[in-house]
Structures are given as C-alpha cells and as structure tokens.
Structure 1
Amino acid sequence: MPAECAGAGGDPRPDIRQDSPDENQNHVAGETRGNVVQAGMIHGDVHFHYSVNPPAPTRPSQLPLAPPTFTDRYAELNLLGEQLRQARCQRETRLVVVIGTGGVGKTALAVHFLRDALDNFPDGQLHADLAGFTPSTIPVDPGHALGTFLRSLGIAPAEIPHDTASRAALFRSRTQGRRLAVLLDNAASAAQVLPLLPGNGGHLVVITTRRHLARLVTHGAQFLEVRPLDTLNAVRLLSVLVGHHRDDLGAEDSRRLAVLCGGLPLAVCAAAGRLVLRPGRPAARMIADLAGERRRLGALSQDDEVSVRAVFDVSHAALPGDAARLYRLLGLHPGRTFDVAAAAALAETDEFEAEDLLEYLVSASLLEERATSGRYDFHDLVRIHARERAHEHEAPAELDAAFDRLVDHYLRTAVSADLRINPGRWRLNPLFDEVRGHERFADQRSALLWLETELPTLGELVRLTCETERHSATWQLCESLWGFFVLRKHYDEWVECHRSGLVAAEALGDHAAQAWMLTALASASLGLGRPDQAEEDAAGARRRWREAGHRLGEAAALDRLGTAALARESPRTAITYFSEALKIHDELGRSRGVALMRRYLGEAYRDGGDSDAANAYFDRARHYFSSVGDEYHTARTLTAQATGHLMARRLPEAEEALDEALRLQKSVGAHHEVARVHSLLGRLASMLGRWDDARKHLREALAIYSGLGARQAGAIAQTLAELDEREP
C-alpha cells in the first residue's frame, strides 16, 4: 500500500481473515499473467497444456507533449492530485471534469498534470480529442474512439466488435484492475464520454469540456472550473512567451496587455505571437490596437491556429436558437454583470424563461454565475464577441428595440428604487406617478443595494442614451439617481451623469429638465466644497425654473443658493434665500419642503450667532421629520443642531443629539453622514478630554471618508496626527 494511503481508506486489498487455526487460505501478492493454481496438497502430476505464453498487454503512451510555458494553477493541480491519490488508494476509477471557456487552458492543465504523474500509471496513458468544439469538425463518435483505444491496448482489429456497446464492454474488461491515465479532451456531451470510461481499477480519467456535463455527477465525477489567469500570472506567461525578443515591452506595458487579454491564456499567446513575429511594430502600437473593443478580437485572431474569435465562434454555433439569441443580445448590455431581469428585458421574455437560457449559457462556459448574488457576468472578450455576433446576426431595428427595452427596464427599476429611498420628495418625471404603488423593492436597504450594484451600468446607460440621442431617457435616469447620490455621495458619477443629463435636456429644449440637472449639479458642487460653482449652477437653474413656470423647482434652486451663501460664510444672504423658498413651499402646501427650509434656516441662524432662533427652527423641523418617519432628515437636523451645541459648549446636549444621529444614519446606510457624525463625536470627546474616544471616532470617520474617496479624509487625518502629538 502506498504510504500516502494511510488513513485514506487503508489497504485496498480484500481483508482475508482465518476463521479457524486449521483452515488454509490462499493469497496472491504482486502482478501475475496467465493461469495461477494454488493448492494445499497435490497427489500425482500437474500438467499445463498451452504452447505459447499469452501476450503481455500493450502499454500505450498517447498523452500530448506537456506545454512548455505552463504557469500558476496551483489550486487546480492540488485538486487533481487529490483525485489521483484517491484512485491509487482505493483502487477505483476517478473522474475529473475540467470545465472552462474556450482558450482558458483546460487541456494545458490536464496534460501538464498527467505528464507530471506518469509514474502513477504503470499501464500507460490513453488520449482522445473528441472534437466537441473544433471548428468545421463533427464531434468524434465514441465508437470510433473506442476502436482506437482497443487497438492501442493490443487487441487485433479482427477481434474488435462493430457496435459501440460491445466495444465499450470489451474496453472495460481489458482495463479492469489496471492503472491508466485517460484524457478525454474537448468533450461535447456526457453521452460521448460515458462509453469511454474504463473498468474498475486505479484509473484517473480527466475530461475537458466547455459544458457542464451534469449527467456525470451520478458517476462520481468531480468538477473543476478553470478561470482566466490573474494579472500577475498572465504577465508571467506573457514574459515567458516573449522572452528576449522584445526590448520595448516594459512592466506596465506587459500588465496592460495582460489586462486587455482578460487573463485568457489563448489571448495572451496570440498577443505574444504578434509581439514576437512583428518586431518592427512598437509594443505601444499593439497595445493601442487592443485598447479599442472594436479591434481587439480581430487583433487576437489573425493566426488561425491561435484565434480567439474562432474559439468563441464554435461555442456560439453550438447553442440552440433562443440561447444563441440571448447570448448575442447580452452583448448590448453595457455592464460587466447583470441579473435575470435585465436579460429578460433584452430577450423580451419572462424571468423564468430568461433564467433557463442563462443557465444554458453558464453550462456552455459562456457566462459565469456569481452564486452569492444571483448575478451573471461575461469575460470581457466573450462580451465583445457576443456584441460582434449581435451586429452580424440581428437586424438593426431589433438591436435598437432590445436596447430600448433594456433602458426602460433600468429606468423603471431605478424609479422604483428612488421611491423607496425617498418617497416624500417631489419629482419631475411623470413615470414616478405611474410606478408609485408598484415598487419592486421591499425596503430602502434592498433599493440601495440594487442601485449600488448597478451604478456602473446606470452610468454607462446615461452616457449611451445621450450619445444615441435618447435624450428623455438620459435626464430621467439622472433624476432617478438623485436620492441615491444624496445618501451615498458618489460625486464623480453624480457630476458626470448630470452633465450628460444637461446636454440631453438642452438638446430637447426642455427648460424644466435643464433646471433639474443644474439643481442637482449645484448640490454636487456644494458637497465637493465648490460654493462658487454651486452658486452659478443654482442661479442658472432658478432662471430656467422660472421660464418653465415651475415654482417648486424655483424653491429647490433657492435652497441651493442659500447653502452656497452659508458655505461662503454669508448667513444673512442665506436667510433671505431660505425664507423665500420656505414661502413658496408654504403657499403650495408642501409640508416636507417647509421642514427642510426650517432646518436650513436653523443652520443659517446658528452660523449667524442666534442660537435661540436656530434651535426653534431645528426643533420644528425635527418634529416634522420624526412624525413622518424620515430617519435621514431627522438625523441631518440632529447633526446640525448638535453642531450649534458644540459651538455654545452645551456638550451633554451635543452628545445626546449626535448619538441619536449616528444610530439613524447607520440605519439608513448614509455612509458619508455616518462619517460626519463620527468626526463631530471625535471633536466632542476631545473637548471633554476623552482622548481614546476621540481617536476611535476620528479613525472611524477617516476609514469611511477614505473608502469613499472623500475630500474630508485629509483634514481628519491631520486632526488625528495633531491629537497623537498633543496627547500620545
């Protein structure tokens, strides 16, 4: 028994026990050929009547050569090693199905491992390329592959049966009790593989495929998914392949090429081939060729032997009609990941049918499912291929219709999310009234999670709808993101989206939409500490709101003008703007707007030194927000009031207000506001001489601000450093 089998099944030989001291037992150790006779006692002669010894079985050696540039795959090699150990120790056939998209290195992994483990297969190795995904080739019939295997095992052609079932039975018989490595490469289906499985013994069967051969689960198969290389190992592979052939390929160029290839080994090999075979073309030029998505697949497919496009073409051609159509339409999706609902919108089907089709694409290794989130994603090169095939196979009108369905899906879902985040604010887009009452989210937390997850896609849709002159959708998408941006403060995306929204609104000649985009841009500028830009945008918004005859919009522009004045330390000017806005809200019966202006007036009077007036406004605002369950604005009001308490050194009142504000902001997930409250609690603790508490709160604030990339992080870090110097 091999040493590594100890504790893993024990000695695989039958446990032969002596039932009584007088009973003789027979036992054969080692390998034998021909007849074996064991006898306790013989009387007379023994004769064996045959003229020649039976032929020793042929030891095939069919594995391809190992790849000379193999890199990484340590986890995958360990799993294969464990299956080999089980095959040896338990004297049973082990199946490993190596799954992955085309060009990911499945065959290279299998051959590298099996070549390294040749000593474990004393009876040889068998290999069959089953051509399941070979361009212009019909998958190999298992009966044909069995004929090749049987001849390799020394069976005369005349003794090989004609039908597949009989050949499979003979193959199992001739491999029974032996130890073979069997590589079934490029399998198309479980039906193609099953007849090729050897008989019981210490065999290791490795099957490479692009499909999830679920039927093999019942045969005890282990499934090993091979993913693209990470950037570090893709760079290593590129460096080995290029070697000394290029002097102009620096570390950053190599990293960029590896990223553009998406870590797909076939793509890395194609890029390396171009670098080696075109020494006169600068590496920077080649990187530029790959940088544009329209040219990338072509640049990686110029050699028929190493063509990324051809590999994906085969997978696409093997799909049934509905799955192939969805694959192509998914190429229109602008994000890296998507959910079932988005796929259903593209395919114009229900979510149940879409999920079935997505599962088929996953099983074909064209998509990957993220198990914890229920989302799907493409490899970058696969996504580019899907988009190419969409433009090749689908009519332009169908592509436009599919994209419109996708935009409508995201717009309606974002509107639903915004209604859940902030149900009380007024909206410009009438779609909000249509969706109200039919929200798709159970609570604010799930709405925020969806928006956070989909933000990259939503940002791309804003850009694409503007570029393709779907201008109404552009500004409407921006408006649907308002509540999310207010809570999460993604300022870069906030500004970029609303600038596109402004361009779209101007193209439409829609004054109200222009005004809303400028109002939102003014808010972003205030958050970024740019009061002059905020004032300019808010003034432009006020003019356009007046042109549109929209008084609520004018009130919104006035409160931005007031906040800009506060930021410039002009509380009297701010009071004028806020008072005018409050009057409009009051005349229109907008209680929420009145409460907001009271909070702003509290801040203005606080900064102007009138704490009594400030607290009166704060108390009335807080009472309203609490009564309607608006935790975010209740907390904002408490924070503003606590700031006044700190200024007046009313420290117990400040601490009580800040503790409650922190609880509420954590509840709604307003990360930026949580950091603001922590920074104020740090200031309060310093004023009380509680230095450890001060450091704790400031570090919490710094961690959040740093994670958000917020400008406040620098000031908090400096305060912490000064605190450490003063009170080590």
Structure 2
Amino acid sequence: MSDREVLVNALAWALATDGDKPAREARAALERVLRHAAGPDAEPSAARPATGDGPPADAWNLATALVRRADDDGRLLDALRGWLRAHPPPHGPGGGHTNSIGGDALLQGPTVQARDIHGGIHVHQAPAAPQRPPTPRQLPPVTAHFAGRAEDLKALEALRTARPRPAPRLVVISGPAGVGKTTLASRWLGDLAEEFPDGQLYADLGGYASTGPVRPADVLDRFLRSLGVTAVPGGPAEQVALWRSVTADLRLTVLLDNAYTAAQVRPLVPGTSDSLVVVTSRQRLTGLVVDGAAVHHLRALEPGAALDLLRHGGGERVARDPETARRVVRLCAFLPLAVSLAAAHLAARPRQPLSALAAALDRGRGPLEALRVEGEAAVRTALDESYHALPEDAARVYRRLGTLPVTHYDTPLVAASCDLPVEEAERTLDLLVETNLLEDAGSDSLRFHDLVRLHAAQRGEAEESAAARREVARRFVDWCLATATAAEAILSPVHRRLARHYAHPPAATAPFEDGETALAWLDTHRHTLMAAVRLSDAAGWDATTWQLVDAMWPLFLRLRPTEMWIEAHTVGLAAARRDGDREAVGRMLTSGGNGLRDAGRIEEAADWYERALRHAEEDGDVRGQAQALNGLGNARLRAGRLDDAEAYFTRALALRESIGYGRGAALSRLCLGETALARGEHGPAIGHLSRAYDDLRAAGDTYDAARALALLGHATACAGDPAGGRERLWKAFADFRRTGSAHWQARALELLGLAARRSGEEDRARELLRRSLDIYRPLSPANARRLEDRLRAPDAGTDPPDPST
C-alpha cells in the first residue's frame, strides 16, 4: 500500500462517525477545511462504495477529497498528518474492538499496534527532527584556463565594496554573446565563498533559450528547496514573500545567469543587505540601475590574454609560431568563446599546424562557421540567439548596417542609410546597444564587435534583397556626399565647388556650428568617407565617386592624411574620366598632385601637374592652366629648383591677373614670397607676402591668409625685426588654431623656435621645437624626424622648414 493510500485509510477510519461525538466534531472541522481550500461550492466526490470490511463511504470520500487537495498544498498535508496524530482512528478493520496503549507507557522507535491484522500493518513512528540540507554550492565550475581578467575582477570588487546599502548588493555583468560573462562571475564569486557562508545559489534564466526565458517562480521553487523549505507555496507572490523571509538573516551569493529583462530578476533578489546578487546578461538591463544596480560592461580579451588562452590548446605550436598565433586570435576577434573553441580545435588535432587553423578561419565565412562544437557553429548560434530576440524593425537595421563597408556608426548615418526618422534611428540604436550588439566607441560613435559585424553582414546578405542592399548603400553614399559638401562650404567657402548629384537627397545633414565642428566631423569620419569612395567606385557610381573626393578637400588640406589623399584622387581621377567630366578630371589632377607633393613624391606630382596643364590647354581653361602652373612651381620649389619654381609662379600670376582672379593671384604671390625666402632674399619676400596677406584677407580666405602671415613673420624676423616677426607668427598660430590646421600650427611653432634660436634663446627655442614635434609626430614622420634632428643638434642651423602648401 502506498503512503498516500495509508493516509487515506487512516483518515477514513478516524472520521468514521458511528455516533462518536469527537469523531463527528472532527469530521465537521475537516469538511470546513476542505471547503475553505477548494471554494464554497466544493463537495467531496464519491471515491468508492461502502463495503463491509472498510470505513463508511462518506468517511472514505471525505478522506480521499482531503488527501487529493493536499497533493497540491504542502501546508494542508502537514496539517492532516498532525491532526491524525492528535486524533488516532477509533475503529479498525473487524468491528468495534479497540486497541490502545495508555497510562505512563513510553514507546521507543517504530511501534506496531494491532489486535487482528487484515492485509496490512500500520506503523506509528515519532516524526524525526528536521535536518538542515547541505549548504548550497551551485556555481558553475571555472575552467582551469581562466585568463586575462585581472582588471575586470578588480573593477567588480570595487563595485561590491564601493558603499554599503540597505538592500542586497546587485551587480550586472553585461556583454555580447561569448565574451565570458558567466566564467568571470563564477570566478569572482568563487573567490568570495568564505564571506558568504550560507551558500552560493545559481540559476540559468535562459534569456535566449529556444523555450523562452525561465519563470522567476520556477527559480524560486528551486532556491527555497535548496535552503531547506519543504512546503513551497504555489502562488508567485507567496513565493517571493517566503523567499525574502527565509533569506532575511542569511549571507548568500546568488548568480542569475543569462537574464533577459530586469523584471525577470527583481523577484529573485534576497531579503537581506548581507547578500550579493550578480546578474549576467547580453542586455544592459538599465532597468536594474534604477533599483541601485552597478553595471560592469565586459569586453573582449586583450591580445596577450587571448594568446594565453590559445596556448592551453595549442601548446608548443603557439610558442613556435607566435605570428600565426596572433593572427588566429585576431581572426577570433579576441572573443573568449571563439578563442576557446580555437584552442579546443588545436587540442583535438595535435598534429595540425597552427597555419592550417588560421587558413580555415580566414576563408569562407570565417570563424562564425569554422569554430564548432559537436558539429554546431557555436559562435554563430550564440549570435543568432541574440538576433532572433530583436524586434523586427531593430533586426532590419542590424542586418542593413552589416551590409555597409564601415566600422563606426552614428545616428545621422543610420537614419539616412536606413531611411528612418532621426528619432526612430536613435531609439533603434539604443536598443542595439542595450542588447550589446553595438558598443560605444566614444565621440557619439558606435561600432560592432568584429564577429558581430560579420554576423550582421551574413544576415543582411541572407535576408535583404539585392535591390534593398543597393538602396541602403546608395543612401549611405549620398549622405556622406551631402554632409562632406556642407563641411566644405564652411571650411573652404572660396573654393570653386563643382556639381553635386544625388539619387536619394538626404532629408538633413549634420548641422555644423562653425569651421571647428565641420573639420572635427571630417576628421572623425575620414575612414567612413573613404569607405564611401571605394563603395561608390565599386558600384559604378562614377560621378558620385569623384564628387566625394572633391568634397573631402578641406580634410586633405588641413589634416593631411597623405596616403588617403593619394588613394582617393587616384580613384577619383579614373571615375571622372569614365564620367566624361573634363572639369572634374582637371580638379582631380591638380588636387591629387598636391597630395603626391605633400608625400614627397615630387616627380610623380610634377607628372600630374603637367597632365593637368595639357588638359586645361586643350579646353582653353585659363584658370585651370594657372592652377597647374602653380602646382608645377611648388613641385620645383620642393625639389630646390628655385629658378624653375619662380618662372612657373610668375606665369601663373600673369594668367590669374589676366582673368581677374584676385584670390588666385594672391596665392601665386604667396608662393613667390616663399621662393624668395628660400633664396634668403628677405626684402622681396616681405613685399610678396605682405600683398598676398592683404589680398587673401580681402577675399575672405582666412586659412591661406594665415599661411601668408606666418611666412611674413618668418621673413620679418630674418630681416632683423625679431619682435615684429614673433608677433606675426603668434597671430598666425592663433589663426591656425581657429581653422584647425594642425600642420600649420606645427610649422608656425617651428618658425618661432628658429627665431628664438637666432636670437640666442636656446631654452626657449627647444621648448617651441618640442611643441612643434608633438604636433608633427602623428601627422608627418618626415617632419617629425627633421624636428628631432634640430633638437639633438642645437647647431643644426636656423633654416626654415621645407616649403609646402
């Protein structure tokens, strides 16, 4: 007979009325219990018919109904057992005989009490004292190959000890799939075991499981039973109340892994300030911050730590071939999950060279497909889970961004590329950041982790039609062109602008308050703009290609990214020729020649200028001819061929004056002044440069006017007026600060240093030259080397720097 059947049988005999007043009262009381538990309309249903050798049917039916109800209510079950001990059955099988033990008898251990035995023995045993369950130690094991998280552990400990709170300490470890959140949390909490003696509880909340997130009620049931609670209530509110009561005096750590929402976490927070709750999530769970949570965002491993992790599987192969090992962890994007899978791959193939793994990761779909566990692409699967949890509008933006050839994104770019209102684009980006699919890259910029970007690209290729991908690309390119053109209009207002054409004119471009913000935008978006040039060229949008290059002119002129300058104009020149726009061809040749000259590739620059001159002569374009001649003059000046330089500048000046191009004439005079300076003819230099400065200011060209003023200051100091020269140089330096020209800031400081050296102020000279060097270092290695030579050898002279635009 089962325990349940024994209980029903005992209750039925105890409830047999047969005129016994105590039994009748007991029966009435238990009927009230049943109605209270099941509702006012509950009645005991017939369980079995009465028989001659059992209790009456009504007693049996009531007993059966009570036990059935107790199956779902642990408190009722305990109450029935207690009542049965207080009211033992007055009847037994066989009729009215009683069998009792009374008086002072003391029973020890199990006792069989019977007169006749009919089919079973009822054993009455004193209930055992409740035993405390073992202290829960539920944290997942930490791999023996834990590496590279010392700073993260230190940061987490700082969050834990920052300030005492009246509520439990709550820490969220947030990061993308595969970044190692659970491993880090388990390692940290494992180290804290002695500080929390009442146990370590763990639950995987299944935030991205195919079956859906785990209900808090299911977790509470397990947690309460782990702490020794045998009768867990069924209602969520009662469970939470009991959980907080049970944990009120305990010191616990609770790891809630893979949480999906803040609402999923809140019911699981214990009721004591002496406990520590750690939540890991692919979401940022900003809702918990309102509750007082501290957030630690976990990023990929540092390269050295990633190599350590790879070494555990690759062993000596990693040590023998460190360059290939570095390539492997780069291809894994330093993501712990990917690196661990690569290490496991090596461990399972002890004879495979490291280069074979690198080749497998580098071809096809790369590490998303190559790194597998039991045949499943583990990294891709983890990212698929995050992707499928997104709302459809956010998923669309995610995969469309993956089709763009850029690594950084901001709200205006996304709004234009995905054809969204700015407010909607901002909300979508916030969601992608919240889910750790995008991460903050500083300066209002966002980026994908490398493997996430690869996943987004795959989803875009698989789910977006070719037409949709092409439209996104075209909208992106048009936005780049429109915004760069707006920046150009502020930074180079006197620069003759060529035509602009748009397939999808952007609704709005970035608003620029002044030249400083316009130049800053060009600087931070330089790689985005170059990606747009390459994309437009590959797509066959020739007009847009050269127009983009042309719009980037202030970037090239002010900030001098030389290699980009040359590449852009090489691509732009070919596109302009295919487009058949001769004016654009001339512009690409002269602007591109400037880039080659700035890079020190003087003969190549001269070749571009000569082609520009022939092109302009064929078209009868006098202005274009003067531009090319001025370029040739600068190439000869850089090469030290001063007579040739002067001849070219003089021809250019005459052409410009013949067509009334005053600004162009002033630029030619500036170059003639620089040529005179190179000859040491300070008087003629001052004459050319003074007029150039006045004419350029009158034309509204503040940048070139500052160039003329700097050279004028140098010529003045060299001519015997050091105070007047320094005054002009400092004013020019201030103008360059305002216009954002780092190159000319460095050049002005260098000229000031040379002026101080000429006056015998060596300490002051070295200070100014060091400041110039600090600016030159990231801009121009050649200029930086020249400054280093000047600092090493104070007697290196006071010759001016090489001429340049």
Give yes or no for TM over 0.5: yes
1:112 CA drift (Å)? 0.8
Other-structure match for 2:312: 240
1:321 CA drift (Å)? 0.8
Q: Distance in 2 between matches of 1:201 and 1:671?
A: 55
Q: Distance in 2 between matches of 1:155 and 1:612?
A: 99
1:277 CA drift (Å)? 2.4
Other-structure match for 1:400: 470
Other-structure match for 2:177: 102
Other-structure match for 2:776: 705
Matched, 1:175 2:247: yes
| Farther-moved stretch of structure 1 (179-188 vs 708-717) | 708-717
Q: Distance in 2 between matches of 1:438 and 1:357?
A: 19
Q: Which of 280, 295, 304 lines up with 1:208 in the alignment?
A: 280
Other-structure match for 2:139: 63
Other-structure match for 1:112: 187
Other-structure match for 1:152: 226
Other-structure match for 2:460: 390
Q: Which of 549, 553, 557 lines up with 2:628 in the alignment?
A: 557
1:83 CA drift (Å)? 5.8
1:151 CA drift (Å)? 2.6
SS in 2 for 1:132: coil
Q: Distance in 2 between matches of 1:590 and 1:420?
A: 21
Instruction: Summarize the alignment of residues 605-616 of structure 1 with structure 2, pairs less than 5 Å apart.
Output: 605-607=676-678, 612-616=683-687
1:233 CA drift (Å)? 1.7
Structure 1 residues 500, 175: CA separation in 2 closer, same or farther (over 3 Å shift)? same
SS in 1 for 2:300: coil
1:527 CA drift (Å)? 1.8
Structure 1 residues 457, 610: CA separation in 2 closer, same or farther (over 3 Å shift)? same
Q: Distance in 1 between matches of 2:548 and 2:152?
A: 44
Q: Which amino acid aligns with 1:213?
A: L
Instruction: Summarize the alignment of residues 137-286 of structure 1 with structure 2, pairs less than 5 Å apart.
Output: 137-156=211-230, 159-200=231-272, 202-244=274-316, 246=317, 249-286=320-357
Q: Distance in 2 between matches of 1:204 and 1:439?
A: 46
Structure 1 residues 470, 303: CA separation in 2 closer, same or farther (over 3 Å shift)? farther
Q: Do the aligned partners of 2:370 and 2:377 also contact (CA within 8 Å) in 1?
A: no
Q: Which of 646, 650, 653 lines up with 1:579 in the alignment?
A: 650
Structure 1 residues 608, 282: CA separation in 2 closer, same or farther (over 3 Å shift)? same
1:532 CA drift (Å)? 2.0
| Farther-moved stretch of structure 1 (472-481 vs 269-278) | 269-278
Percentage of pairs with the same residue: 38
Other-structure match for 1:377: 447
SS in 1 for 2:446: strand
Q: Which of 276, 287, 295 lines up with 2:358 in the alignment?
A: 287
Matched, 1:346 2:442: no
1:482 CA drift (Å)? 1.1
Structure 1 residues 54, 284: CA separation in 2 closer, same or farther (over 3 Å shift)? closer
Structure 1 residues 349, 551: CA separation in 2 closer, same or farther (over 3 Å shift)? farther
Q: Do the aligned partners of 1:625 and 1:631 also contact (CA within 8 Å) in 2?
A: yes
1:610 CA drift (Å)? 5.9
Instruction: Summarize the alignment of residues 235-634 of structure 1 with structure 2, pairs less than 5 Å apart.
Output: 235-244=307-316, 246=317, 249-291=320-362, 294-301=365-372, 303=374, 307-370=378-441, 373-430=443-500, 440-607=511-678, 612-634=683-705
Q: Which amino acid aligns with 2:182?
A: T
1:235 CA drift (Å)? 1.8
Q: Do the aligned partners of 2:501 and 2:544 also contact (CA within 8 Å) in 1?
A: no
Structure 1 residues 215, 572: CA separation in 2 closer, same or farther (over 3 Å shift)? closer
Between Structure 1 and Structure 2, how many residues are aligned?
670
Structure 1 residues 173, 487: CA separation in 2 closer, same or farther (over 3 Å shift)? same
1:260 CA drift (Å)? 2.5
Q: Do the aligned partners of 1:528 and 1:711 also contact (CA within 8 Å) in 2?
A: no
Structure 1 residues 576, 283: CA separation in 2 closer, same or farther (over 3 Å shift)? same
Q: Distance in 2 between matches of 1:651 and 1:152?
A: 86
Q: Which of 756, 760, 775 lines up with 1:685 in the alignment?
A: 756
1:444-463 deviations in Å (ceiling 9; x for gaps): 11111111111112122222
Q: Distance in 2 between matches of 1:187 and 1:533?
A: 61
1:313-355 deviations in Å (ceiling 9; x for gaps): 1100000011111111111233322211011112101111100
1:395 CA drift (Å)? 0.6
Structure 1 residues 194, 588: CA separation in 2 closer, same or farther (over 3 Å shift)? same
Structure 1 residues 653, 150: CA separation in 2 closer, same or farther (over 3 Å shift)? closer
Q: Distance in 2 between matches of 1:447 and 1:535?
A: 31
Q: Which amino acid aligns with 2:445?
A: R
1:86 CA drift (Å)? 7.9
Q: Do the aligned partners of 2:262 and 2:288 also contact (CA within 8 Å) in 1?
A: yes
1:415 CA drift (Å)? 0.9
1:475 CA drift (Å)? 1.2
Structure 1 residues 210, 247: CA separation in 2 closer, same or farther (over 3 Å shift)? closer
SS in 1 for 2:738: helix
Q: Distance in 2 between matches of 1:549 and 1:323?
A: 55
Instruction: Summarize the alignment of residues 36-55 of structure 1 with structure 2, pairs less than 5 Å apart.
Output: 53-55=129-131
1:82 CA drift (Å)? 4.8
Structure 1 residues 303, 703: CA separation in 2 closer, same or farther (over 3 Å shift)? farther
Q: Do the aligned partners of 1:293 and 1:384 also contact (CA within 8 Å) in 2?
A: no
1:237 CA drift (Å)? 2.0
1:128 CA drift (Å)? 1.1
| Farther-moved stretch of structure 1 (392-401 vs 615-624) | 615-624
Other-structure match for 1:24: none
Q: Do the aligned partners of 1:301 and 1:309 also contact (CA within 8 Å) in 2?
A: no
Taking structure 1 as the reference length, what is the TM-score of the superposition? Answer: 0.86
Q: Do the aligned partners of 1:312 and 1:385 also contact (CA within 8 Å) in 2?
A: yes
1:602-648 deviations in Å (ceiling 9; x for gaps): 33455567655443332221112233453321221123334444665
Note the aligned Cα RMSD (angstroms). Answer: 2.8
Structure 1 residues 186, 698: CA separation in 2 closer, same or farther (over 3 Å shift)? same
SS in 2 for 1:708: coil
Q: Do the aligned partners of 1:90 and 1:202 also contact (CA within 8 Å) in 2?
A: no
Q: Distance in 2 between matches of 1:657 and 1:82?
A: 53
Matched, 1:77 2:153: yes
Q: Distance in 2 between matches of 1:415 and 1:227?
A: 37
Q: Which amino acid aligns with 1:382?
A: V
Q: Do the aligned partners of 2:713 and 2:724 also contact (CA within 8 Å) in 1?
A: yes
Structure 1 residues 100, 548: CA separation in 2 closer, same or farther (over 3 Å shift)? farther
Structure 1 residues 643, 292: CA separation in 2 closer, same or farther (over 3 Å shift)? farther
Other-structure match for 1:93: 168
Q: Distance in 2 between matches of 1:551 and 1:321?
A: 58
SS in 2 for 1:179: coil
Q: Do the aligned partners of 2:411 and 2:425 also contact (CA within 8 Å) in 1?
A: yes
1:236 CA drift (Å)? 2.0
Q: Do the aligned partners of 2:682 and 2:718 also contact (CA within 8 Å) in 1?
A: no
Q: Distance in 1 between matches of 2:390 and 2:474?
A: 25
Q: Distance in 1 between matches of 2:687 and 2:455?
A: 63
Q: Do the aligned partners of 2:243 and 2:270 also contact (CA within 8 Å) in 1?
A: yes
| Farther-moved stretch of structure 1 (516-525 vs 649-658) | 649-658
Matched, 1:123 2:195: no
1:583 CA drift (Å)? 3.8
Structure 1 residues 65, 511: CA separation in 2 closer, same or farther (over 3 Å shift)? same
Which entry has the higher C-alpha Rg, 1 or 2?
A: 2
Q: Distance in 2 between matches of 1:70 and 1:439?
A: 45
Q: Which runs of 5+ in 2 are unaligned?
A: 1-125, 799-805
Q: Do the aligned partners of 1:178 and 1:201 also contact (CA within 8 Å) in 2?
A: no
